[in-house]
Amino acid sequence: MKFEAEHGGRTVPVEVTGGAGRYTLVIEGATVTVDARQTVEGIWSILWDGASYVADVTERETGYAVDVEGERYTIRVEEESRYLIRTRGATGAERGQVLKAPMPGKVTLVEVTVGQTVAPGDGLIVLEAMKMENEFKAAVAGTVKEIRVEAGQAVNPGDVLVVIE
């Protein structure tokens, strides 16, 4: 899972893997292993780098508020596919966009054709993963140069789906 944590006016990307109480976090390129267990609803016991903490976690509309030892951290959560598009997408039309599958799944719909002109936000591909449909949209304006998948095709993380120039 990928998300952003905000604290003191600073936003930091965080990636979390693992489960069953043992998690690996990558924060600004640094990796740390954390043991975390929910003791009662909203209260977590965390063992981080040998120190024990209690975190009060409150769900918000766009994520969570986490209070630890008098400090508040705001965690913004968004679908991984949206996060990947937002953080790895091109920043200008001169760069184009290479849309890669962020997760394994099955293409259920290809919304564009080669040569089609697209604007930011136009739908490109719908990918079904874990019984959810994820629509991927153009991050830049441009022309669809390549479509490397078709409806019904299985894809793996990193597979190129659509190229826009």
Instruction: Tell me if residue 89 falls in helix, strand or coil.
Output: coil
Q: Which 3 state secondary structure label does DSSP give 148?
A: coil
What are 22's two structure tokens?
């043992």
**Percentage helix, strand, coil, to 5, in the chain?**
5, 60, 35
- In CATH, what class is 2-77? alpha beta
Evaluate if residue 86 carries a pLDDT over 60: no
Instruction: Examine the pLDDT at 80 and tell me if it is beyond 80.
Output: no
123 half-sphere exposure, CB direction, 13 A CA radius = 10
| pLDDT at position 55 over 80 | yes
**pLDDT of the residue at 78:** 61
* pLDDT digits 0-9 by tens, 109-162: 999 999 999 998 899 999 888 778 888 888 888 999 999 999 999 998 888 899
pTM over 0.85: no
Q: Domain 90-164: give its CATH code.
A: 2.40.50.100
Comparing 129 with 165, the larger pLDDT belongs to: 165
Count of positions (residues) in the chain: 165
Q: Where are the domains of the chain?
A: 2-77, 90-164
